[in-house]
Structure 1
Amino acid sequence: MYRLHAIVLILCGILITISRGDTIEDGTKQTQSQFCKNVRSQHSLNIQEITGLWYGSEIIAHTESSPGTYYYDTCVLIHLTDITQQMAATTERAYAHGGSYKKSPHLRQDPHNRYLRLAWNERENDLEYTLNYTEANPGLWMSIGDQRGTMLDLQYSQFRGTIQVAKAVHDHIVLTFCDFKVNSTFFTIVLTRQKQGLGEDGLRSIRSLLARRGLATDSIRKVCSSSATHIISSMTLSIILSMFLFLRSN
């Protein structure tokens, strides 16, 4: 009975550790400066095919943050919208009223400019980015103007930088955010059309792709999936089975 009690205490300790979101996989911290590397954004890209709703699968930090894999009880939702026509209409209205573009140079008419709205939602908070890209390089998006949304109330620092499409296929997309401010935002988010996210083989392949392009991939935040629940469930089942066999043998 004492041995059985000890097993139960160990099980409780494991579950508490995972539920707190502690690191359960170790990585090797890289010290080399990796600020705003070019990840060779995808040039062949149909913007209309990637608009709409995406679910976060994991977020990979490329700065010198704590290595390991962390599980979060939260979901990141991203919605991409083509707003090129809206921006063109805004420009026309400004011209009609004699508006000046000195304060908003991105509103100047350019037939090659295209615009996106990226809406990020997490834990009932939202943030909206306005992005500019060109037909010649549709996988490189530049932030323009200030972000808007309730996340601004959480001491959010305005993002001034680029979002590179490292990979885009029918069921997932990989976006690398890099702020121009030194020692600031630099991470990649893996997005999928399905809430359950990509399988581990697919995620490992993406991390390998990023590593080959010179990015650190040893600090991972799991979101939008029940990965932690699956781990708890499988570990619980395994230990319960072990306990059952132990009781049968005694």
Structure 2
Amino acid sequence: MAVGPWVAACALLCAAAAAAAAAADSNETRDFCPELQWQKNFDLDELMRMWYVVEVLEHRQPGGAAISRIDSCPVVQLQRLGETRLKLLWEEPAGVVEYHFRLPIAYTPGYWVAEGSPNSTLADHHGKRIAVHFSGDVHVMKAVYSHLVLTFCSAAEEKLWTIVLSPESSLSAVELRGVNKMLERRGLTLSNVRQTCGGAGSAPASAALASLLLAAGVAALAA
């Protein structure tokens, strides 16, 4: 069937508009999210297991790092969904959040892009739903046997934060300091630092801490 010139012109215009929108999103991400040096070479399959969240760090807030310690000990489960997709399941007493990512660059396991909105069952102590939004990138800043460092950046939500994961429910102070210094060397300012899973001097979990994601500012009470 012959296609009229106006149909072809419309198709070209639609394609151009879609390309412009994609470029705008890409520019917005680059403007907010720094050029991060993620780890290039590692075996992604070795990360597909259960991890404890031992530290959550917020960036972008100048004025020095405020450190707090809490008893809450979230767990992250990583799972591959084929060759180019994976799932991150975050579990804490307040509920569960399920993130989906794709790997857009062939043979580059250190850069993930969010797919769709996270599925969340998080709720505060009064049963009010906690909304979790994330549309952005995840960078694998470090992947070794003893710990995994993931930095999340969302231009849309203007959020930049890092989680430090360990196969055990603790990580030595020396290793945590090393991770923090690595992040600073790569241009990530440390503001709020939350060390989890208890430990000496930790504050007991209380009603004030409905969710670690809520406390870290990467989730909010639903309207």
Write the letter of the residue equivalent to 2:70: Y
CA RMSD of aligned residues (A): 2.1
Per-residue deviation, residues 37-77 of structure 1 (Å, max 9, x unmatched): 12211110211101110001111110227841011221111
CA distance in structure 2 between the partners assigned to 1:229 and 1:180 by the alignment: 32
Q: Which residues of structure 2 form unaligned runs of 5+?
A: 1-30, 204-223
Q: How does 1:48-63 map to 2 (within 5 A)?
A: 48-63=45-60
1:151 counterpart = 2:105: no
Is the CA contact (8 Å cut-off) linking 1:132 and 1:142 kept in structure 2? yes
1:80 counterpart = 2:58: no
Structure 1 residues 157 and 193: CA distance shift in structure 2, 3 A? closer
Is the CA contact (8 Å cut-off) linking 1:65 and 1:219 kept in structure 2? no
Write the letter of the residue equivalent to 1:79: Q
Q: Which residues of structure 1 form unaligned runs of 5+?
A: 1-33, 85-112, 231-250
CA distance in structure 2 between the partners assigned to 1:71 and 1:65 by the alignment: 20
What secondary structure sits across from 1:156 in the alignment? strand
Q: Which of 38, 46, 64 is 2:43 aligned to? A: 46
Aligned counterpart, 1:166: 141
Aligned counterpart, 1:216: 189
Write the letter of the residue equivalent to 1:191: L
- Give, in angstroms, the shift of residue 187 of structure 1: 0.6
1:36 counterpart = 2:33: yes
Q: How does 1:183-202 map to 2 (within 5 A)?
A: 183=158, 185-195=159-169, 197-202=170-175
Identity %: 29
Per-residue deviation, residues 82-107 of structure 1 (Å, max 9, x unmatched): 111xxxxxxxxxxxxxxxxxxxxxxx
- Give, in angstroms, the shift of residue 157 of structure 1: 3.9
What secondary structure sits across from 1:228 in the alignment? coil
The structure number with the bigger radius of gyration is 1
Structure 1 residues 57 and 227: CA distance shift in structure 2, 3 A? farther
1:179 counterpart = 2:118: no
CA distance in structure 1 between the partners assigned to 2:107 and 2:122 by the alignment: 33
Per-residue deviation, residues 95-144 of structure 1 (Å, max 9, x unmatched): xxxxxxxxxxxxxxxxxx60100001122411000100143321000000
Aligned counterpart, 1:70: 68
Larger helix fraction of residues? 1
Is the CA contact (8 Å cut-off) linking 2:60 and 2:190 kept in structure 1? no
Write the letter of the residue equivalent to 2:199: S
What secondary structure sits across from 1:127 in the alignment? strand
Per-residue deviation, residues 149-189 of structure 1 (Å, max 9, x unmatched): 20286342420001100000012100001112153x21111
Write the letter of the residue equivalent to 2:54: S
What's the TM-score once normalised by structure 1's chain length?
A: 0.62
Write the letter of the residue equivalent to 1:199: S
CA distance in structure 1 between the partners assigned to 2:171 and 2:195 by the alignment: 11
Aligned counterpart, 1:94: none
What's the TM-score once normalised by structure 2's chain length?
A: 0.69
